[in-house]
Structure 1
Amino acid sequence: MRHTRTAAVAVAACAAIGLLAAPAAAAPTDTTVVTLNVVGAGLDIEAPESAFLGSGLPGTTLTGSIGTVRVTDQRGSADASWTASVTSTHFETGGGSPTERILAEQIDYWSGPGAEQLGTGTFIPGQPTAADAEPLSTVTPLVAFQHVGGTGVNSVAWSPTLIVHIPASAVVGTYTGTVTHSVA
């Protein structure tokens, strides 16, 4: 009897050890579908509020930079292309006579190369060198800078130069005009 009881206890002990050593069953799992939105902030252009080009005599040429112009494209588009253009009013002293006006067409615009370029695609200056300068217009926009292709966010800055051909008939005075940059 004693052998039977000892054997039964030994079998029970082995069974208990076997239960403890058995692998644990895997815990149940579950998944979560996560979504998010990537939003665009738009296409923007910034230009200096004002600029002083200096002084020049009638019949001479005056050259000066208007400061930094910057396009920032945060649309996040699959095609991040855009074109920045520029127009100008005539420059006038306020007197109203033809001798108190420098026509927009007598002012050449030179974008120069881009700086601080960010993003993919190709950045193309409208007038990369001084030899490429083109006359401004009150009606027909002049291409100042372009971005072709690429995706997502991009930006570029440039410092355009104005070359003012002061007419020999211009009277002495302070001439003021408005140069307008736009982007689409």
Structure 2
Amino acid sequence: MADSDFPGWHGTTIVGVKKNNEVVIAGDGQVSLGQTVIKGTARKVRRLSPGGHDVVAGFAGSTADAFTLLERLEAKLEATPGQLQRASVELAKDWRTDKYLQKLEAMLIVTDGQNLLVITGAGDVLEPEHEVAAIGSGGNFALAAARAMMDTEKDAETIARDAMAIASDICVYTNGRLTVEKVPA
């Protein structure tokens, strides 16, 4: 089977919301291969604690690739304790220039409570506008929904959960089985 014939892995919506005194990252649990749901309970949001500093990361894309990136991010965080932005830039530089890492197909949303960042394989470390970030197949749906709720009385966790519910109603590659992690801002 040629690569172009392979149906490809789809799935995942990850949203990060920073509001008031907390930052929340939420992710769904669905992994699909073509039109088939392979797993509905994947855990795509993880808590990292290198050097005692709490960092939460959510990933979209290939699971093995994402775990490789999370391990690299943890190593960068151990080398630069408490400096998520610097560690993220160092990871993005490696990802962009290392021939092995360039082939990885994943994206990350990370937070330490102060920073909310999107890290891409193009070498980008992005600080989202409006304190909301989203990635994955349903990312645009979750992003639009979360941004629409930011001026309401809802807290960050409620916004993230509601945005994910909307994304899961629209995107066939996203389900409602959430993993939610929060960090104080």
Q: Same fold (TM over 0.5)?
A: no
TM category, shorter: under 0.3
Which structure's residues are more often helix, by fraction? 2
Pick the structure with greater CA Rg. 1
TM-score (norm 1): 0.26
What TM-score comes out, normalization by structure 2 length?
A: 0.26
Q: Which has the higher strand share?
A: 1
